[in-house]
Amino acid sequence: MKRILFLITLVLSCSMGRLSAQMERFEEMLPMMNADSLRQTVLDLQSFGTRFWLHEHENGRVGNLRVAEYVASRLNAYGVQTSIDSSLQEGNHWFGGPYSSMIYNVQGVMEPDGPSDSIVIIGAHLDAIATQPSGSSLMVLPNCPGADDNASGIAVMIEMARIIQLSGLRPHHTIHFMAYDAEEYGLIGSVHDAWQRSERGDKVVLMINNDMVSYQPDDDWQLCLHWYSNALDILPVAAELCEQYTDITPFVPSDAENGNARASDSYAYSTYGFKAIFAIEKTFSLSYHTDHDVADSNNYDYLSHVARYNWAMLYHYAFATPTTSIGGQTATPQFLVYPNPATSSLQISVADGTHPYTVQLFDLCGKQLSTQTMDHENGNMDISELPSGIYLLKILSGNRTVGVQKVVKK
């Protein structure tokens, strides 16, 4: 029996040592987000001249195949297995009229370190558009540099592949690096991919979207985190990780301010029932959809901190286990809240050994409505005075966040 106990202790000690080393490696990589590396990717994408998905090249070819091949080659260089999903898309655009052309989505795959059928997606769109008024309609300009919109998002995605290779860490879930075509024409590439995943029954843990994340002309660094109603549990995690591991203040829009959540690729995933979150600069670029959206207008130090936020998100959802989670979060909630939906009160039961603990209640804008300390495993929170709606309940034990859960007041 003593020998068995010794072996168990030895295994646990070795495991905790590996987990501690992995966490240390995560933190070591944060300052490795390289502003020059991000800038070079933006410059490379700008050098295509235009990334409009219906652009006709000199050889008669239409589309962004060369751009997709560039993104694939960059991901390949960091050990990511890539493929280009080309498909014919036909339809009618509100200002461009009828179209029939190929799209070129890039998919990079990083396999997990063990068996897992779960997928974490980090994505951005590779196309760009620049327009100007022409009579009563709009005309697409021949020069579409798209540095902020959205070479910046692609740069962050590629930077994640570089950082993962440099760290030597392997994810516990499969990571898909996605570059979507024809986002500017109605999310065509991401809708195509999300539909395919829905048909296959893919188990997507989270889709992390970056779109226009490099324009920051002043010192008030903020990042807007657009959210979706089926992924409210993601929102406080993302905000906390951004707050803890970057110099950026996260901005969580109210319901009335969240309309732009529909304007980027993450919306396609949410419509198919997948969880997603969408990061975009809080100070909106003045060069949006113009030929002035060039690399020199971007703030690459700010972009490197957006990359830090993405590294924290990827680590939390694709790498971490309940014992190596970051930002005070745990991967698996260790508490129960019932009934849910509730009418007047919430019963809260936490895992043995967690008490005393603190319960905080927030609205969807991030405003803290109440806080309560519980001395026993089972507690009660009165919500009878709250209006009907959706709220976020957060459990803390000391400085550690036990978990966050969406609750509904009837």
Domains of the chain in sequence order: 21-319 (3.40.630.10), 335-409 (2.60.40.10)
| Residues 309-317, mean pLDDT to the nearest whole number | 96
Band of residue 242 on the pLDDT scale cut at 50, 70, 90: very high
- Condensed to tens digits (0 to 9), the pLDDT of residues 332-372 reads 446 778 788 888 999 888 765 667 889 999 887 778 899 99
Average pLDDT over every residue of 73-96: 96
> What pLDDT score does 375 carry?
82
Which of 148-162, 252-266, 391-405 bottoms out in mean pLDDT, i.e. has the lowest?
A: 391-405
**Which pLDDT score, from 0 to 100, does residue 321 have?**
65
Determine the pLDDT at residue 4: 42
pLDDT at 347: 85
pLDDT of residue 19: 55
- Is residue 245 predicted with pLDDT exceeding 50? yes
The pLDDT confidence band at residue 391, using thresholds 50, 70 and 90, is confident
pLDDT at 11 over 70: no
Q: Comparing 171-180, 317-326, 397-406, which segment has the lowest mean pLDDT?
A: 317-326
For the chain, percent of residues with pLDDT exceeding 90: 66
- Stronger pLDDT, 397 or 155, i.e. the higher one: 155
pLDDT of residue 365: 74
pLDDT reading at 2 higher than 60? no
pLDDT of residue 7: 40
Band of the pLDDT at 6, cuts 50, 70, 90?
A: very low
Return the percentage of the chain with pLDDT > 70, whole number.
90
Q: Identify the weakest region by mean pLDDT among 14-28, 148-162, 270-284, 376-390.
A: 14-28
Q: Mean pLDDT score of the chain, rounded to an integer?
A: 89
Residue 382 is predicted with a pLDDT of 93
Note the pLDDT of residue 24: 85
HEC-encoded secondary structure of the chain: CHHHHHHHHHHHHHHHHHHHHHHHHHHHHHHHCCHHHHHHHHHHHHCCCECCCCCECCCCCECCHHHHHHHHHHHHHCCCEEEEEEEEEEEEECCCEEEEEEEEEEEEEECCCCCCCEEEEEEEECCCCCEEEECCEEEECCCECCHHHHHHHHHHHHHHHHHHHHHCCCCCCEEEEEEECCHHHCCHHHHHHHHHHHHHCCEEEEEEEECCCCCCCCCCCEEEEECCHHHCCHHHHHHHHHHHHCCCEEECCCCCCCHHHHHCHHHHHHHCCCCEEEEEECCCCCCCCCCCCCHHHCCHHHHHHHHHHHHHHHHHHHHCCCCCCCCCCCCCCCEEEECCCECCEEEEEECCCCCCEEEEEECCCCCEEEEEEECCCEEEEECCCCCCEEEEEEEEECCEEEEEEEEEEC
pLDDT of residue 331: 41
Q: Please, which pLDDT band fits residue 14 given cuts at 50, 70 and 90?
A: very low
